[in-house]
Structure 1
Amino acid sequence: MDGVTVLRHLPFNLHLFRLPALLLLSLTVTQAAAQQNEEQEQEEAADKAPESYEYAAPSYRIERSKLKITEPVSWEQLQRDDLSHYLKPATVTPLLAGPEDFITLIKNELTSNSKGVAILLPDWQQGATTPNSLNYLRKTLPDQGWTTIAVQPYEKPPQYPSIALKPSEQEEENNTSLEQYRQKLTAMMTAVMEKAKTYPGMFLVIVQGSHAALLTDLYQQEKVPLPNALVVLSSYMLTATENEAYAKTLAQTELPVLDLSLKRDHPLAVTNARLRLAYADKEMKASYRQRILNNFATGDYPEQSLLREINSWLRYEGW
């Protein structure tokens, strides 16, 4: 029975409303039919979905299994690759330190009077050509009679400084990490000194950052052949205990030392420069000079001032 037949059997007083009721009933029937069609389409799609999934899933899993995720290249390897790629092959000289090799950049002196060899060691996480100060010296010193050997350093120990909760655990972990790194640094600098001895003249080591503290300790323990003079640039360690030990060692070493830092420098470099000067005065170290250079950009050495300080100090020392 459709909507019109139902309306014909209604009482007389309801016939006045049969037209709106007819429209409402027709709308209801239409909506019910549309909903039924939508449900039917969803059921058909659900019936087809497993077939398409069965077809696509195996192919997807096979392609995913073919993916090979390579490990990221280490910072040290990137530096080595850049130096080998962008510099002349005659400049890049690999040296062997125990079971590992490392890269040095050698530039021969360009004068008739050879003064010696200047060994340039940047801070860790720096490249052999990255620090503006050392790279400037690498290019300039050969014109003044120095053969320069710029060393590409190893990476900083991954677990240094320690993030342990207890101070005793921090100190133990730091000592372990630094001791392992000192062994690698000992082999590296011993190989560099052996290479330097093939050239005439004196040996000057110019070292930056934390390497200055580590290398001074190796010199004091006589684990590495001693140079004739040592220049340290913005040197510091990352903990107060290590900085104090470094200041004491530097004051007690017999090496002539030029200690340079900047007006605008790393906060630890500025603070510990005063500490090193105090210990040098306490030990009455005669062959020690400290200078603080004026600069505009933080950590950026003024090239002419840097070269002038080194040359004047060497002349004072008699070289």
Structure 2
Amino acid sequence: MKLRAFTFLLITLLLSISVRASDDFFTDISNAYLPGEVKELLAGELTIPVIELEAHTPLPLGTAVLLTEPFPSSLTLAQGNTLAQLLSEKGWNVVLSPFNLPIKDVIDADTQGDSSVANSSTDSLATSSPEQQAANKIHPRSNQLTQYLDFDATSTQLALQLNALNNYLQGRQGYRMVIAQGMLAATYLAVTKDQETLHPDTLIAISPFWPDTTVNDLIIDNIAQAEYPLLDLSLEGFNDWTQDTLDRRRISAQNALKIHYRQIIIPTHVLAISANQNQKPPHIQLVASSTIGWTRYLGW
């Protein structure tokens, strides 16, 4: 429970920061790289940054798409860069695609409307019916994080981004592998369930979750019904949401007779002592090695 409370506070803080910086998302990503390293794609009215790394082998296996996000609940851009380097050394062309999680407008509405709410609170309470007052009352144990997260809006925006990437990568030879973590992995599973054209050759889902019980439970069926090979990586002690579905994801996939499915627990408390300043994070190295082992199991 303490871990879930800490995760809630951390994500809520980051959401409040992100909503104010959403307009500068592409600029912020571009400033983290040298000029010309970041390409831009258009997905509807959104400008999507794309960073590419070429394979270190003469005959690439295909393209690995890494979906990153600013929140630590997903694969961050720094972690994505490290993972991209490891995969490119093993023969993969890598495309880093940062995603800007859409946030509901309640934060802005709260900050901009504090004074107006204070002035009109007495009048609204007087005019509203008892039923309306009961509906507006927030339960003390309710999950307030879902006030700021919108699964439908996230799914719509991710679908736009995936279609833009699909068009951009059209004609690329080799296999197509997608890697996503946390809320992005959960959203990806839901989006590709309804859009067959977005199906990858394989998905690496790292600790998929969504901080809402109903949506989080959908991950179980979405994994079992996925029509593509799926590697289910679970970071040990990541959070209660993904831990809650861990065993059920595996059992559901087995009961659905899903052939190309594997679940691996990745330890996150790995002791690594090295004088090398370029030492990669141990759990990212384990994610990379598990991914390469999975692709070789598939015969690639």
Matched, 1:190 2:163: yes
Letter aligned with residue 169 of structure 2: A
SS at match of 1:181: helix
CA distance in structure 2 between the partners assigned to 1:292 and 1:187 by the alignment: 31
Q: Distance in 1 between matches of 2:73 and 2:245?
A: 24
- Aligned partners of 1:231 and 1:258 also within 8 Å: yes
Helix, strand or coil for the counterpart of 1:302? helix
Pair 103,290 (structure 1): closer, same or farther in 2 beyond 3 Å: same
Aligned to 2:36: 90
TM-superposed CA distance for 1:242, in Å, is 1.1
Q: Which deviates the most, 230-239 or 219-228?
A: 219-228
Equivalent position SS for 2:234:
strand
**Any idea what the Cα deviations from partners look like across 1:264-287, whole Å, max 9, x if unmatched?**
212212222222112112212111
Task: Please name the residue that 1:257 is paired with.
Answer: 230
- CA gap of 1:128–1:293, structure 2 versus 1, over 3 A, is closer
What pairs with 1:23-172 in structure 2 (closer than 5 Å)?
A: 74-123=20-69, 125=71, 130=76, 133-158=79-104, 165=138
Is 1:232 the counterpart of 2:205? The answer is: yes
Summarize the Cα distance change of 1:286–1:157 in structure 2 as closer, same or farther, 3 Å threshold: same
Query: How far has the Cα of 1:159 moved from its partner?
Result: 6.1
Equivalent residue number for residue 35 of structure 1: none
Q: Against the structure 1 CA distance between its residues 189 and 124, is the aligned structure 2 distance closer, same or farther, given a 3 Å change threshold?
A: farther
**Secondary structure of the residue that 1:103 maps to in structure 2?**
strand
User: Which secondary structure does the structure 2 equivalent of 1:278 belong to?
Assistant: helix
Equivalent-residue separation in structure 1 for 2:137 and 2:250 (angstroms): 32
Within 1, Cα distance between the matches of 2:291 and 2:249? 19
Paired with 2:29 and 2:69, the residues of 1 have a C-alpha distance of 17
Structure with more contact order per residue of length (Cα contacts < 8 Å, sep ≥ 6): 2
The answer for the alignment partner of 2:261 in structure 1 is 288
Q: Give the drift of 1:315.
A: 0.8
Give the Cα separation in 1 of the matches to 2:60 and 2:220: 33
Corresponding residue number in structure 1 for 2:118: none
Change (3 A) 1:127 1:276: closer
Q: Percent identity?
A: 24
For residues 127 and 98 of structure 1, the distance between their equivalents in structure 2, rounded to whole angstroms, comes to: 26
Q: Contact between 2:67 and 2:180, CA under 8 Å: does it hold in 1?
A: yes
Q: CA shift at 1:158, angstroms?
A: 2.5
Please tell me whether Structure 1 or Structure 2 has the larger radius of gyration of its CA atoms: 1
Instruction: Write the letter of the residue equivalent to 2:21.
Output: W
TM-score by length of 1: 0.67
The Cα of 1:127 is off from its aligned counterpart by 11
Aligned match of 1:315 in 290, 296, 300? 296
Map 1:10-25 onto structure 2 (within 5 A).
none
- CA displacement at 1:112 relative to structure 2: 0.4
Structure 1, unmatched stretches of 5+, are 1-71
Moved beyond 6 Å, runs of 4+:
none
Residues 26 and 47 in structure 2, CA contact (< 8 A), matched pair in contact too:
no
- Counterpart pick for 2:246 among 269, 273, 285: 273
SS in 2 for 1:271: helix
What residue number does 1:306 align with?
287
Counterpart Cα distance in 2 of 1:127 and 1:234: 9
How well do the aligned residues superpose, as a CA RMSD in angstroms?
3.1
Unaligned runs of 5+ in 2: 1-17, 107-135, 271-280
Question: Shift of the alpha carbon at 1:180?
Answer: 2.4
The one-letter code of the counterpart of 2:201 is N
State the alpha-carbon separation in 1 of the partners of residues 40 and 137 from structure 2. 37
Tell me how far apart the structure 2 counterparts of residues 189 and 127 of structure 1 sit (CA, whole Å): 20
Shift in alpha-carbon separation, 1:76–1:140, aligned structure 2, 3 A: farther
Q: Secondary structure at the match of 2:150?
A: helix
Which is worse superposed, 97-106 or 191-200? 191-200
Instruction: Label 1:124 to 1:216 Cα distance change in 2 as closer, same or farther (>3 A).
Output: farther
Deviation at 1:126, TM superposition (A): 5.8
What is the alpha-carbon distance in structure 1 between the residues aligned to residue 187 and residue 53 of structure 2? 26
Aligned residues: 241
